[in-house]
Structure 1
Amino acid sequence: MTDEEIITALAEARREAAEVPDRIREIGRSAFAWRTVDAELAALSTESLTGARAEQAPVRALTFAARDLTIEVEVTDDALHGQVVPPRTGEIELRDRTGVVAAAQVDEVGWFVLGPVPRGMFRLHLRAGDTVVVTEWVTI
């Protein structure tokens, strides 16, 4: 075996060793999800859904209720406008299945704007001091 063949064989072995099986990747993603296990889950309040008629109407307002706060969101054509009640400063993230899509600061009166409007499933992740709240997944 020549030096070049040995180097090629070693490079191939290293490449194969670096490949991670799909099952192991899935286990890693699941373990990563546990990093927010201590975050409080904010549930969507059903009374915040608009257009509860027989024909389908767009959802224009959402309210997520947690133990000590609510996150109110109005959906516009280009962004999510929201408020944390009672007001507190912090950071809020818009996340889809791939991760963080947008982030915004929550000001002293609890207001924030996240854009663009998500297409498909998303959730909000709020960090305000020691409080961490994650909403359930929704689609608008």
Structure 2
Amino acid sequence: MSMNDEELLAALAEARRSAAGVPDRIREIGRSAFAWRTVDAELAALSTEAPAGARAEPAAVRALTFAARAVTIEVEVTDEALHGQVVPPRPGEIELHDRTGVVAVAQVDEVGWFVLSPVPRGMFRLHLRAGGTLVVTEWVTI
């Protein structure tokens, strides 16, 4: 059973109308799922351990630690930039991605330091290429 041009155009128009009703949050999640194209990368998980005696009240995230098997990416959030260090130190390149793609790129120096700006608004993740490996962090919002 094949469609003629008019039936195909009608089906496409209906699909477009249906997609218009999808909530923005669901669209954002769908775009984030596109990250599967980096399935070969090692995922660095956000450390969620709270310090002893920490209060249960919500607080602004100012420091992030992403731990992968062989590397940790530590990030401090300032008003102007993300200041970070790769541990153990290794030179490379780090990219800041939001849901639209790459928004900033920085070199990681020989002691592991990097600075990315501007500070992302909304969901973001980091892609680290160093020593022949790719490490991708979880999506996070600050």
Correspondence for 1:75: 77
For normalisation by structure 2, the TM-score amounts to: 0.72
Matched, 1:138 2:140: yes
- Please report how far the alpha carbon of residue 117 of structure 1 lies from its aligned counterpart in structure 2 after TM superposition: 0.8
Correspondence for 2:63: 61
Q: Distance in 2 between matches of 1:55 and 1:79?
A: 25
Correspondence for 1:121: 123
Over the aligned positions, Cα root-mean-square deviation in angstroms equals: 2.8
Q: Give the number of equivalent residue pairs.
A: 119
Q: Distance in 2 between matches of 1:90 and 1:135?
A: 15
Secondary structure at the counterpart of residue 126 of structure 1: strand
Secondary structure at the counterpart of residue 47 of structure 1: coil
Equivalent pair of 1:44/1:65 in contact (CA under 8 Å): yes
Q: Distance in 2 between matches of 1:33 and 1:95?
A: 10
Secondary structure at the counterpart of residue 78 of structure 1: coil
Correspondence for 1:11: none
How many percent of aligned residue pairs carry the same amino acid?
84
Q: Distance in 2 between matches of 1:68 and 1:109?
A: 16
Correspondence for 1:8: none
Q: Which has the larger radius of gyration?
A: 1
Correspondence for 2:107: 105
Structure 1, gaps ≥5 residues long: 1-15
Alignment-mate amino acid for residue 124 of structure 1:
L
Q: Runs of 4 or more off by more than 2 Å in structure 1?
A: 29-35, 52-56
